[in-house]
Amino acid sequence: MKTIKIAIQKSGRLNEKSVDLLKKSGLSFENYKSSLISPVNNFPLEILFLRDDDIPEYVQDGIADLGIVGENVIAEKQVDVTYLQKLGFGKCSLKLAIANHSDIKDLSGLNGKSIATSYPVILDKFLKENNIDAEIREISGSVEISTNLGLSDAIFDIVSTGGTLKSNGLKPFADVMRSEAVLIGKNGIAKDPVVFELLQRIQSVLRAEQ
């Protein structure tokens, strides 16, 4: 039987819940932090531990057959993959936020302004759909401090509790996208009997947790 590969986040917010879900699905494997690949002892599966940003392309290109990643990352990478299952963890929103004292009142107030983000593709699509002409400043992290530093007039970032926005003197301004972790597969892979079996197991774990 062919060994299927599933890519999950190596470390970060989705790692522990992804590992938990696979273990609850009856898979026995070592969660090696230092190695990139863990074989599963009791199922024809190998686990690849990757940066979340790499997972959509790895699955699209068939280097991994399956992946667990946030919908936000899939949307940003614009890949063509099959959504197999929403997983109910890693929930967050992508929001535009402005400084508490900002004079921006509505979406049209963003015209001519600059917006800092790590998600330029999702933001660009949203701005075009709303006929807003703003400058996108792509930065890779700590987006929330960019308005305080005078680098941008607004930010577009992931929000979950809203605590980070608040502690940086920002307020949410518009909701652009909701996201959670999902199981994705290479197109056509859903027909594979091993994938079918794994999906059944994952779905019964999710049902039991509801």
**Is residue 52 close enough to count as binding Zn ion by CB under 5 A?**
yes
Taking the complex as a whole, the smallest distance from the CB of residue 103 to ligand PRT amounts, in Å, to 24
DSSP letter for 2, please.
P
Taking the complex as a whole, the smallest distance from the CB of residue 70 to Zn ion amounts, in Å, to 9
DSSP letter for 100, please.
T
Spatial distance between the Cα atoms of 46 and 40, rounded to a whole number of angstroms: 6
Residue 143 or 189: the one with the smaller Cβ distance to ligand PRT is: 143
Taking the complex as a whole, the smallest distance from the CB of residue 168 to ligand PRT amounts, in Å, to 9
Which residues face 31 on adjacent strands? Answer: none
Residue 135: CB atoms within 10 Å: 13
Contact 94, 155 (CB under 8 A): no
CB contact set of 196 (below 8 Å; sequence gap of 6+): 190
Q: How many residues bind ligand PRT (CB under 6 A)?
A: 22
Q: Which stretch binds ligand PRT (CB under 6 A): 47-55, 95-103, 107-115, 194-202?
A: 47-55
Taking the complex as a whole, the smallest distance from the CB of residue 170 to ligand PRT amounts, in Å, to 10
**What six digits make up the tokens of 154?**
């607004």
Binding positions for ligand PRT, rule: CB under 6 A? 9, 12-14, 51-53, 70, 72-73, 90, 92, 144, 157-164, 179
